[in-house]
Amino acid sequence: MRHLLIISLMAGISSTGIAMATQESPSTQQSIATGAVSQKTFTEQLRKTVGFLRVTYRDDASHMQVTGTCFFVYVEDKRLGENRGFTYLVTNRHMAQPGIERGVVYPVDQVFIRMNLTSPHSGNESVEEQIPIGPRLHWFFPDDDSIDLAVLQVDPDQSKYDFQIIPESLLATPNQISSFVVEPGDSVVFAGYFYQFPGQKRIEPIVRQGILAMMPEEMVSTTLQKPGQLFLADAHAFHGNSGSPLFVKLGGSRHGQLIAGENYLLIGVISGYYPEGESFSVPAAAVLSGEVHDNSGIATVVPAEDLLKLLDSTKLQSDRDSKIRLVRHH
């Protein structure tokens, strides 16, 4: 299996192999639309935002693997110049650290990502390559261990891979949720890995729609079995959908106002679902584990606010600072 080498994963490389983080802004590259778009156009863009993750790990003497979804978010940083910044791969923490949803963390062997190619190679329209996780390229997690998120600073080569980036500006903030009056009943849509048909020659993300079902003000038990903040969506997530980006539709008639076009905000990240049955009172991480319970159709969603906080956290800012110093030094 070929490695997804830093040189093909990052926009710029120093002699040490550490990313110089000179990714161009999505305004000059392929990015999901920030304005009004048609439903067909948005759906096409949405499917291009995701990649398929496969993580192999060891459970005692057994070799295991989990599969799920990831997407890419762009954070602008003008210190690098105009239209420059950092791109982050986003998924769930229970994808990056298999077993954490059950209170254990299994040793990870390898992490792979499968993405579509801009040009077919040897008859294949996609490729699975290894992400070289290690001291120089590692996951970042929220300080709050109830939040099921993980990010990795990578810049896939957009001349090689056919994908689209989600600008940080599309992540729903509490102020936007309030000003747009986002509430239960609003339409939501996500794209993710479909384990029954992932695609042979190219990745085939499935698109599912539903409604925002609940935005609890109280703490609930998260997929990591700890009290935290979640949204609930009647969108029927299942095996492989962990890490899928969930968008809320803002266009049309909303609370006495008419918003032209089909506008969307990323409301959160699919994390798990509630199984049916009286004995199941907490979400299951079966959207990647393959442990099948009767699915209530109610998906658990990590709010985009938590992703924003992670991207703006001191540890990620420090990481960006160090990479910018490298850029200036070279």
pLDDT by residue for the chain (330 residues), tens digit each?
333 322 223 332 222 222 323 345 554 345 665 555 566 688 999 999 999 999 999 988 889 999 999 999 999 999 988 888 999 999 999 999 999 998 899 999 999 999 999 999 888 899 999 999 998 899 999 999 999 999 999 989 989 999 999 999 999 999 999 998 999 999 999 999 998 888 888 999 999 999 999 999 999 999 999 999 999 999 988 889 999 999 999 976 666 665 555 689 999 999 998 887 655 566 765 555 445 557 778 999 999 999 999 999 999 999 999 999 888 776
Q: Can you say how many angstroms the Cα of residue 89 is from the centroid of all Cα atoms in its chain?
A: 6
**SS3 state at 303:** strand
- Distance (Å, rounded) from C-alpha 265 to C-alpha 285? 25
Give the pairing of strands 227-228 and 231-234: unpaired
- Find, among 216, 205, 104, 117, the residue nearest to 159 by Cα: 117
**SS3 state at 39:** helix
- Residue 295: its H or E element: strand 295-303
Structure tokens at 44: 């096409």
What does the pLDDT read at residue 143?
Answer: 97
What does the pLDDT read at residue 199?
Answer: 84
- Distance (Å, rounded) from C-alpha 275 to C-alpha 149? 21
- Distance (Å, rounded) from C-alpha 180 to C-alpha 191? 23
- Find, among 288, 280, 15, 325, the residue nearest to 150 by Cα: 288
Q: Where are the domains of the chain?
A: 6-329
Integer CA distances (angstroms), 200 to 1, 18, 49, in order: 17, 33, 19
Structure tokens at 10: 């990052």
